[in-house]
Chain A
Amino acid sequence: MGRPPADGMRLLHFPARGGNIMDQFVLQLLNGLDKGAAYALIALGLTLVFGTLGVVNFAHGALFMIGAFCAVVFSRLLQLETVTVDPEKLTPWGSPMEIRTPLVQAWLGDFGAFLVEWSVPLSILFAIPVMLFVGIAMERGLIRFFYRRTHAEQILVTFGLAIVLQEIVKANFGANPIPVATPPALSGSADVGTWIGLGSIYYPWWRLIYLGFALVVVGLVISFLRFTTYGMVVRAGMEDRQTVGFLGIDIQRRFTVVFAIAAVVAGVAGVMYTPIVPPNYNIGMDFLVLSFVVVVVGGMGSVSGAVLAGFLLGILQSFAAMNEIKNIIPGIDQVIIYLVAVVVLLTMPRGLLGRKGVMER
């Protein structure tokens, strides 16, 4: 994204003073939906795992982080270079200068350049098998040994796992955020205001795409659970695992698949988030606590509750950051989510769409 010429040729104009409160409303609503989309995608997997396996998975944020790093790895693979040393030229510290030649562009020409530019959306194809593998390995290798343990023990072991995964990523990729480029065609802003007849209100294309992507993923997961036989059996297992077992169905295997699906959802959410926030090893932890609040507010084990609460809390958080609100209640933007959680739990102890019996035994 280069600097445009400083000759007054810029196309977009901000209002001179004040601006329209409606513009602010639309922008903050979009910010909230966007934030809510990320919360909903992570909370969706969390609540699915809880509803099926009864496990409180604190490593779920790490799955989001691994997904984000799938995008980093994939874009690095596409930008692999051959390195030759030029003994004639020296670095400022006296070592021979390295000459780097990108391989994919050298082999595939324009198509190679296209692949590099669109590496983020393409890395979803890379992330899905990786996340399936990670999800199954995590469930079979560790989580299954903790099904019958207390929630406190589950939290301790999954939190520990999250720290280990973070440290592995930090050791390999460093602690600094790694910038991942938005495809150039989608790096600008869309005039959302014109679409809805409110004049010019610009919003980044990629954030709109993230919102659309989240809605599609949420729709696919809910459809899978509601409209397929496989999903029906999973739902039956969530209601009464023992009876489903008596019918000769290996419900455990299906729950493992659900865990893998939750991992894939978190992973692709991470992939698509990389152009918005450059990933670092801690990115999953940033979302984890908020996503747990989302799950609790939505109702433990309720998929639609997680989605509803995700969007609701995202929107509230955005509006709370408006200067007009912060001038009345300073610091409200940092506590609004927890305040809402307290109010919801006091008035609706099972959360917005919580089911009877979950976490009550």
Chain B
Amino acid sequence: MFRTNLAIGLISAAIIAFQLVLMQILSYIQWYHFAYMIISVALLGFGAAGTFLTVFRKKLQRNYALIFPLLLFITGILMSIVVIIANTETVRFDSLLIFHDFRYAGRLVATYFIFFLPFFTGALAIGMSFLKFAGKIGKIYFSNLVGSGIGGIIALLLMQFVLPQQLPLIIAVIALAGGFVSFPKNAGKLLQSVALVSIVVLPAVLFIPYKLKPSEYKDISKTLLLPDATVEYEKSSPYGLVQVVSSPVLRYAPGVSLGYRGTFSVQKAVFNNGNWNGFLIPATDREETSILDFTPQSLPYQIAKNEKVLILDAATGENVALALSHNVTEIVATEANAAIFSLLQHSFATYDQVKLRHTLSRTFLVSDTSGYQLIELPVIGSFFGNSGLNAVESHFELSIEAFHDMWDRLADNGMISVSCWMDYPVRNAYRLLAVIDRLLKEKKIKHPEKHIIAIRSWCAVAFFVNKSEFSRNQEIQAQQFCNDMMFDPLLMPGSTAIDTGSFNVLQDTSFFRNIKRLLSSEEEKNAFFKEYPYRIQPVTDNRPFFFQHIRWSGIQQVISSFRKGGLPFLELGYLLVLFTFVQILFIAGFFIIVPLFFKRWKSKDKFRVFFYFSGIGLAYMFVEIVFIQHFTFYFGQAIYAAAASISMLLIASGLGSYYSVFLQITKKILFLIPIIIGVVLLIYSFLLPTVLSLTIGVALPLKIFISIVLTGIPGFLLGIPFPAGIKYLSEKRQADIPRAWAFNGYFSVISTALATIIAVEAGYVLLLLIAGVTYALAGLSYSRQKN
């Protein structure tokens, strides 16, 4: 039994690690949205395995000793080769071309299927064990959950040191180890042959020279087409693959004034997961950044003396360089991405006045107590206006609460500087202004218009919010700056009129009317929010999706515009999640639910089994997603927090599962445990954000302890319902177990995308509440004696 438990732990670790690695790989070769696809593919594997078990239960059970290790070997072999197959010319898809060439949709399906295979075989091995040892499910499930938790940690550690394309092979070894651990003494020829093949295939894969090829439309692909472009530096990290590229024609001048007549120095570009991340500021330019003085972001240095400056999300440090060139005496800069942070450290190591902090900007703001003359955010969106790509990414630094935190960190004469690229249709500029307007209202500022300056360049809008009123002198200096730089003032403190500009004319003047509406009465503003085809209301910590602008009513319009061949990137992020959800609903339904109808299900407890196992499958992922968000904010380290919260939750659930072994499982237990979970989640939905924000500033060891306690309590409880349910069925009606597992799998599959949709539409608080209610309803299915 120990060997089986160990093998289950190893295959579970391999599956989770492989899932994380595939997410990393697809984020590099495509875009990060495919992380959802991988989660769904993995869960689909589990669901389909459940269905397969239902249909072939007896045969599989009879040959368990042989089939279990066989599946582990096959999983290992598949893990080592599927990425190579998906990366070949004939299979590789390009998400951008899916909308233009139907063949690529076929390739996407093929990729989906290829990635599905190792999850299916691995999950089948686990499912067989659940069935075989249903009476001891608590221990098996314990191994499964703890193995999964450790697998997550292994993947993150590996990502730190190994390049993405080399990772699948290492993880395949873990799966194979499971095969060898469970290798029976009387192994037949088939098993011996497969084991031998695995021993041959894995080292062979090591010698297959392959390199992951990112989409030709990714920034790095285009940059590498430039003359003499070479990758000079590569560093893998859980945040992505960071690459530094040099070429004699790479220049840096983001949105520089048309009045600039100097030369643009050639620099090295930095990419994270193939996406543009910034330039390495050359040593010679760090103190004399004349180009950046020709951008709207330099206005605060033209109209005020800044001694202490906070630069949030500094990336490769262009704003740090700008501050240095203006002799700022203390510059604090934050950056969360570890690999980018090390580049930043390298660039500014010799400057005593620069203090770098490796954390999320928001986490830093909450725990810091200093007063700054200037707080600067990076330019929001992207030059191409494809900010919709980040639609379902949380941006806590742009919520209304974040602006409150920034305001509280300002010195009396301090200023917040925030700019955005102009996007069409305009969304980011409106949303930023709406946030600023709300901030000033909530701070009860008497004359808000006297605290805002906004200017426009040919491609960007910059907003400056001062804690005290802007002086007349500052206004004149700002006007002069605009004139010199060929920028246009948009909002000036001495006037309530909107300047339509003379240097940068807009053919569509509705922009100015809309800016006016955003600054008018509450009724007018709310009417504008309702009428505008996109969501532009300020975002909150509960729904921190700054770049999610799409409305349900607008989806049809976006889809119809795809047919005309345009806008695939506009708001694509959210649409892809919706698309994934619908696709998974059908595919998972087809693979998991439909086959169940081909085998007659004779059971008295049909509905009970369905509601119980589907309910707990659905709600577990909801809890996981909420916890990831909260602990990301709490620790300031997105990836590590995600991994730690997932691993802690899984390990605590494992312990809960182990505990269930000692429970006498009755209907009452199946009723009570989910109800208790429901109540705990209800309490958490209201108290968790408060507890975390109150303790965010405490020392790290205490923070870790708090997070273990906060994750451990629900995690432990969440680990009980599934093994308890299976154990109950094993005693009452074992034939229902594969179906129970299939239902659980199906609802876990759809819950990943569904959780994101609920979070975007209703917020994290409601998502956790829904999880609680779902658990309670699952428990209620065992509340009465009869269906």
Asked if A and B are interacting partners, one says no
Q: Which residues of B contact A (CB under 8 A)?
A: none
